[in-house]
Structure 1
């Protein structure tokens, strides 16, 4: 679907629902992490990239303080007053929009009522940050309707706060930051402690291909929170030996090795993965920019092995997908994407081999699992903003 076709579809649906056409549009992309699983909430480093799958809002300001928002994809409508932003227990997707309104107002911004319609091409619960895309597009909509100007990093902070405090997911800032700040044609090397990043140019002869296992995982589930709690427990224990440590980002491998025996075994495995994964991020950014295929392959293999054996965030389907990806034409490297527990994998494929790669991976995965995967190349797109 082209942008014009998408706009026409949404305009027709908006007018049918609200009785008038929209007057403004906003969008925000999903994202994929290229290296750095679960390092963000450990104040670590992440190599992340926006994708050309995004969430759009069609909107029209209202004269009152009512917000009406509907979704073409998720179904239903949610209505609330900006004077009393409460949780919607029926349309749970709407809580990401409500959460943005709540935290923006708590920060002192005066918002205005709006009618809105959502359409997204970001797969839900696949590890491509559909919730962050929804939050960032909603934030840009509220900004536009109220005539505000909000810094992209501040918008990302609002998104994380909305998800933590309103939705109830204890996520880091990776997803929101990437969606808000991302640049077309570049990955971002993000420092989750300082919330700063540098662009990492992508070499045109290597393509990123998403391989969706189509097995869903719930980010709000107990296992995600348990991993985070274990990391925090490990950091507290290591701080007794190394003053100044507040997060696992502060621990190098030699320090960890010296004191790993002081940790409960499962906590030690979780911490080892984070310490090793954090060190892989900068190395992978360098390898990707240089087109060093051997280093990319080794680093991705180590990342997946750690995700499987130490952090326990892989699944049988992810392992089947990995084997199919690595055996396919043009595949340079492959690893998990997102938080794991199912969802998507990311492959780095020689440009021009994308079709042959997908043609081999899809039937191999389906034969082994009985599930038809979704496989598609992605490119880095611009961060959240207005659609003109």
Structure 2
């Protein structure tokens, strides 16, 4: 903590330092990573919280620019830091809302709340089935005999930001067009597959493909939650395969490296199911593997992917953990 209203943050991983006053929070055009911290300070103060100055050092083990929500993790860590220094108590869901608002309004990324919510509200040993409309979730227990392994293609995701915005705009266009037939809907999620099929031909072809993916993917998400909690490996594999196919053929967010990685993952020992993670266009993939097979899985995926692409992947066995909090 500091006696004044200055915030000074440095990053071990990104390098550099950023200093700003809580009385005039502006954008840092040089140390762009610091804008996630600045954005949290800005929106928390706009919400009426009185913050205090602080000197902070940031270190992360979350891979950056890999589709693993490193920006949301930084936002939630910054929020908890400001909370602790000022002696506040902020609900995790509210913190997630602040993070999304910071990214939308301060950083300038038109993201949803998924990343911030999972970083703030995560539960040890569980996945979260999130309803972004109500900002509520259900815990989906992970059976102890199934583990999650992240496989980083280590390819840049330059298109992820711009194309994410384009996909979102196309879905909004589709929802708007469908209100002519179903006035009560506000989002593509409100349309059943049968309703969509009836009027898909009246939409722009690309818009129809994007909307079809969302309608089908939402149904797959609900089905996957059931399969995951039950340990139904066959259903998990089929649902993940359909998800990747839709991401490739309808939503058009996959890359050659992602397809190579998928094949390597599915052929590796212990792999139950695999699919894309994040916004696509490279970045990371996620595999569900039998407990105890993580080392053998990685040992086969690494050379297979590297032989096909010339890129050495990074592979991370991960566990579901609690959301952002203080370590005493």
Structure 2 length-normalised TM? 0.99
Classify the secondary structure of the residue corresponding to 1:207. Answer: strand
Structure 1: tracts of 5 or more residues without a match: 1-60
Q: Could you tell me how far 1:221 is from its partner in structure 2?
A: 2.7
Q: Is the Cα–Cα contact under 8 Å of residues 13 and 59 in structure 2 kept in the other structure?
A: yes
Which deviations, in whole Å up to 9, do the C-alpha atoms of 1:305-350 show, x marking residues without a partner? 0000000000000000000001111111100001111100000101
Q: Is the Cα–Cα contact under 8 Å of residues 209 and 375 in structure 1 kept in the other structure?
A: yes
The within-5 A match list for 1:6-25 is: none
Q: Is the Cα–Cα contact under 8 Å of residues 219 and 339 in structure 1 kept in the other structure?
A: no
Task: Report the CA distance shift for 1:236/1:221 in structure 2 as closer, same or farther (over 3 A).
Answer: same
Matched, 1:71 2:17: no
Q: Could you tell me how far 1:218 is from its partner in structure 2?
A: 4.3
Q: Which stretch has the larger CA shift, 287-296 or 211-220?
A: 211-220
Task: Tell me the distance in 2 between the aligned counterparts of 1:115 and 1:292.
Answer: 48
Which deviations, in whole Å up to 9, do the C-alpha atoms of 1:89-108 show, x marking residues without a partner? 00000000000000000000
Q: Is the Cα–Cα contact under 8 Å of residues 160 and 281 in structure 2 kept in the other structure?
A: no
Task: Tell me the distance in 1 between the aligned counterparts of 2:115 and 2:66.
Answer: 13
Q: Is the Cα–Cα contact under 8 Å of residues 322 and 334 in structure 1 kept in the other structure?
A: yes
Q: Could you tell me how far 1:244 is from its partner in structure 2?
A: 0.8
Of structures 1 and 2, the one scoring higher in RCO (CA 8 A, sep 6+) is: 1
Task: Tell me the distance in 1 between the aligned counterparts of 2:159 and 2:264.
Answer: 26
Task: Tell me the distance in 1 between the aligned counterparts of 2:194 and 2:136.
Answer: 27
Task: Report the CA distance shift for 1:293/1:225 in structure 2 as closer, same or farther (over 3 A).
Answer: same
Q: Could you tell me how far 1:243 is from its partner in structure 2?
A: 1.3
Matched, 1:102 2:51: no
How many residues of Structure 1 are paired with residues of Structure 2 in the alignment?
Answer: 328
Task: Tell me the distance in 2 between the aligned counterparts of 1:155 and 1:207.
Answer: 28
1:358 to 298, 306, 320: 298
Q: Is the Cα–Cα contact under 8 Å of residues 196 and 212 in structure 2 kept in the other structure?
A: yes
Q: Could you tell me how far 1:216 is from its partner in structure 2?
A: 2.1
Task: Tell me the distance in 1 between the aligned counterparts of 2:164 and 2:10.
Answer: 29
Task: Tell me the distance in 1 between the aligned counterparts of 2:104 and 2:209.
Answer: 26
Flag as ranges the 4+ runs of structure 1 deviating above 2 A.
218-221
Classify the secondary structure of the residue corresponding to 1:145. Answer: helix
Taking only aligned residues, the RMSD between alpha carbons, in angstroms, comes to 0.8
Classify the secondary structure of the residue corresponding to 2:155. Answer: coil
Matched, 1:62 2:6: no
Task: Report the CA distance shift for 1:142/1:220 in structure 2 as closer, same or farther (over 3 A).
Answer: farther
Task: Tell me the distance in 1 between the aligned counterparts of 2:289 and 2:325.
Answer: 30
Structure 2: tracts of 5 or more residues without a match: none
Q: Is the Cα–Cα contact under 8 Å of residues 188 and 200 in structure 1 kept in the other structure?
A: yes
